[in-house]
Amino acid sequence: MKRTESDALKQVIHLASALKAPRVAECAERLAETAREQHWSHEDYLAAVLEREVAARNASGAELRIRAAGLPARKSLEDFDFTLQSGLRGPMAALALGSYLAEARNVVLLGPPGTGKTHLATGLAIAAAHQGHRVLFASASEWVNRLSEAHRHGDLARELARLARYGLLVIDEVGYLPFEQDAANLFFQLVSSRYERASLILTSNLAFSAWGAVFRDQVVAAAMIDRIVHHAEVLTLKGASYRLRGREKDSLPSVALTAQNSES
């Protein structure tokens, strides 16, 4: 007995359910009608149906990766106001394509507080998640606390190995708080474990020349900076804080001082 188009469609929907491919079941009939109208080949129809399923799964996976990343807020690169940072529009668009992740390169964003470093780092993290990379985001002090806890329990090597499975780690606010010697050594181990293996994004309100004071050891700071910038895109943000825009004073004394330091 010859199987009708209706019978075939029912079979496709049944098989899609068995394969846990709900988008195939949802679009099979509609795409079949389009295929008949436009005289698609069997291969074209199959590719179109599977493309819908893959796209939906990728979107769902990206959403899960974004939620698991620990982002401080959900801010994309499209949301960023490049008015005061117009020189960064091109470099950020290039970074958003993600080739730096495949090459295990780093991104460093330097500049005074409030100029958009965290927003840009968050936007790149979201882009990386959409490209299939696992991401973790935390401040520098939070990373040190995490590593210190693992070290106390004798699990530092295991924790570094676990973090190595993430395509991107974001370290926000390097330099806001100074580190003790032990903390600086742990931070150095994190940077070293990623060197030429996987990417880091770091933000800091301080120029590299001031990192020695942050880590309380010029030698450790120099070795760390060497590993970070060897394969890195270093971008500098300038100007007054976005958060102070529209107020009577466009900057605070501490912000102005930091801006001078970052340019020295």
Q: Degrees (nearest 5) of the Cα angle 137, 109, 256?
A: 115
Q: What is the pLDDT of residue 247?
A: 54
**C-alpha–C-alpha distance, residues 264 and 259, integer Å:** 9
Q: What is the pLDDT of residue 259?
A: 39
232 or 17: which leads in pLDDT: 232
The tens digit of pLDDT for each residue in 179-231 reads 999 999 999 999 999 999 999 999 999 999 999 999 998 999 999 999 999 99
Query: Residue 2 CA to chain centroid, in angstroms?
Result: 54
Q: Give the list of residues 6+ apart from residue 207 with CB closer than 8 angstroms, or none.
A: 110, 261, 262, 263, 264
Which residues make up the CATH 3.40.50.300 domain(s) of the chain? 69-263
Q: Provide the angle, in degrees to the nearest 10, between the axes of the packed helices 89-96 and 117-130.
A: 30
In which band, very low, low, confident or very high, does the pLDDT at 233 lie, cut at 50, 70 and 90?
A: very high
> Whats the size of the chain, residue-wise?
264
- Which listed CATH number (3.30.1540.10, 3.40.50.300, 3.40.50.80, 3.10.20.30) goes with 69-263? 3.40.50.300
Mean pLDDT (the chain, rounded): 88
Higher-pLDDT residue of 61, 221: 221
Residue 67: the pLDDT is 94
Give the Cα separation of 29 and 149 in Å (integer): 55
Residue 45 in this model has a pLDDT that exceeds 70: yes
Interval 122-147: pLDDT, tens: 999 999 999 999 999 999 999 999 99
Q: Return the pLDDT at 13.
A: 83
Contact 220, 185 (CB under 8 A): yes
- Following DSSP, what letter does each residue of 127-191 receive, concatenated? HHHHTT--EEEEEHHHHHHHHHHHHHTT-HHHHHHHHTT-SEEEEEEETSS---HHHHHHHHHHH
pLDDT for 108:
98
Q: Give percent of the chain above pLDDT 90.
A: 64
Q: How far apart are CA 54 and CA 258, in angstroms?
A: 47
How confident is residue 85, by pLDDT bands cut at 50, 70 and 90? very high
